[in-house]
Structure 1
Amino acid sequence: MNFTSKIHDIIIYKLKQRVIFLEERLQKFLARSGIASRRKCEELIKEGTIKVNGVTVTDMGIKIDSKKDVISYKDKVITINGEKVYIILNKPCGYITTTKEQFNRKKVTDLISGISIRVYPVGRLDYDTSGLLILTNDGDLTYKLTHPAHEVNKTYIAEVIGIPDESKLDKLRQGIPIEDYVTSPAQVNIIDKNKSTAILEITIHEGKNRQVRKMCSAIGHEVKNLKRAAIGNLKLNDLALGKWRYLSEEEINYLRTL
């Protein structure tokens, strides 16, 4: 074992042995600092981009004292900014909800201007899906709204090809097999229809990749257009496509109760 490895092991050992003064897990601190969601921060730790007191840490169990330890991301020291920002955006199609893009596609953060604090999307909306998206630097709220255990309802308006009958809708209401999982029961209603398409209102609390599209495809009705209309009781109301606004204090407090 070389000298660097010994120093690394000593630091990791001391971090694990602290009991009284440890304040929080490393990934929670990172999320609270606004780096990304807690889930994404766990990925950053695994990738070896986080250092504690100058030593790369990849252990999910590490706890830190933010008043004593120096935490860095890609060698840039992380500090907690006390100001939290909460934004609601009416996302257009053709934008991605990641903050990094290697194919030069447009990002939702490109639509946010006039604020100096970096914000991050809460969860994801597909490239070709529009609608309600929350952006914030509050890692704890992001974790709460995106973690499956909290079962936060999301309502979508889906225009599908063809008119599904009640037996097909009941399959969605009961939970339907998709790839390697079965969806939780959804709330589904037809709110409009014509000769060739129907407009469905679908409420789910999961957030798996392209889930609503896959659900509709599983009953034989491909999605033509998809929009997220609400998260819980939070709605877009008259917010124009591509526009954003700050959430009110009442709306923020509501999201914290979900």
Structure 2
Amino acid sequence: MPDTEGIRLQKVLSQAGIASRRVAEKMIIDGRVEVDDRIVTELGTRVDPTASVIRVDGARITVDDTLVHLAINKPLGMHSTMSDDRGRPCVGDLVEYRVRGNKKLFHVGRLDADTEGLMLLTNDGELAHRLMHPSYEVPKTYVATVDGAVRRGVGSTLRAGVELDDGPARVDDFAVVDKLPGKTLVRVTLHEGRKRIVRRLLAAVGYPVLELVRTDIGSVSLGEQRPGSIRVLTQKELGELYKAVGL
């Protein structure tokens, strides 16, 4: 007897926004779709999308509509917490009326009040845990405005490592983006998550930070997202995050 339980795989892919039903069928035939670590090429295959792990081109997709994955551009002066007992503006204020069902959200990539930029909010606990865990080395990129003209060799020093008061730290990448009167715009990429790590690293090599914005966490970029705005992560972004942390 044919298996009538579950939902046809191409319909699951279509509902997840991966592709139209017809394109999803071609993806399956071409061997681009895995279900529970097994490549599936049969169009009649039915799956339980709430129980199976489905990947397209190696990137996991999610069809669980109880999961929330958001990108927020935290404005300057706002605290990263979901609530604040002192009544200060916080990230929770932005999402209070935007996320239905009072879902418990974790913030991934906390930022100080004087730093703006990209944060992720999710109720996907395992994803949040892995993104924050240093062993997965998910890179984060910042654009900093620093005091003065940056001399040659600073990038090499930062890549080699700098001794801070709580141990050595280094960047994965460093570049000068623009030179301005009396200051310089630089881009810093690292996978460290220690408190105020970018400010402390740049100060340690003689360049105090005047302004700091986080632009990327792993595969997710701030792009043109305005301060205070929230958007849902795309399936592509989410799949790449899952892949980066081995989910």
| TM-score of the aligned structures, taking structure 2 as reference length | 0.69
Instruction: Kindly report which structure 2 residues correspond to 1:160-239, keeping only aligned pairs within 5 A, or say none.
Output: 160-239=146-225
Match of 1:114 in 2: 98
- SS of equivalent residue, structure 2 residue 153: helix
Match of 1:98 in 2: 81
Query: Is 1:151 matched up with 2:134?
Result: no
Aligned residues: 178
Name the CA distance, whole Å, in 2 between partners of 1:158 and 1:91.
16
**Runs of 4+ in structure 1 displaced over 3 angstroms?**
none
CA contact (8 A) 2:106 2:125 kept: no
Write out per-residue CA displacement over residues 73-97 of structure 1, whole angstroms, 9 at most, x where no aligned residue.
xxxxxxxx97110000011011111
Match of 1:16 in 2: none
Offset at residue 239 of structure 1 (A): 1.3
Match of 2:243 in 1: 257
Match of 1:87 in 2: 70
Offset at residue 115 of structure 1 (A): 1.6
Instruction: Kindly report which structure 2 residues correspond to 1:13-92, keeping only aligned pairs within 5 A, or say none.
Output: 83-92=66-75
Name the CA distance, whole Å, in 2 between partners of 1:184 and 1:223.
17
Name the CA distance, whole Å, in 2 between partners of 1:162 and 1:237.
27
Query: Is 1:131 matched up with 2:117?
Result: yes
Gaps of 5+ in 2: 1-63
- Alignment-mate amino acid for residue 157 of structure 2: K
- SS of equivalent residue, structure 1 residue 166: coil
Query: Is 1:241 matched up with 2:211?
Result: no
Give the helix-richer structure, 1 or 2.
1
Offset at residue 240 of structure 1 (A): 1.3
Name the CA shift for 1:191/1:219 in 2 (closer, same or farther; >3 Å).
same
Gaps of 5+ in 1: 1-80
- Report % sequence identity: 35
Offset at residue 249 of structure 1 (A): 1.6
Write out per-residue CA displacement over residues 174-203 of structure 1, whole angstroms, 9 at most, x where no aligned residue.
111111210034310101012300000000
CA contact (8 A) 2:170 2:190 kept: yes
Offset at residue 120 of structure 1 (A): 2.3
- Alignment-mate amino acid for residue 182 of structure 2: S
CA contact (8 A) 1:174 1:186 kept: no
Name the CA distance, whole Å, in 1 between partners of 2:168 and 2:216.
23
Name the CA distance, whole Å, in 2 between partners of 1:191 and 1:130.
18
- SS of equivalent residue, structure 1 residue 99: coil
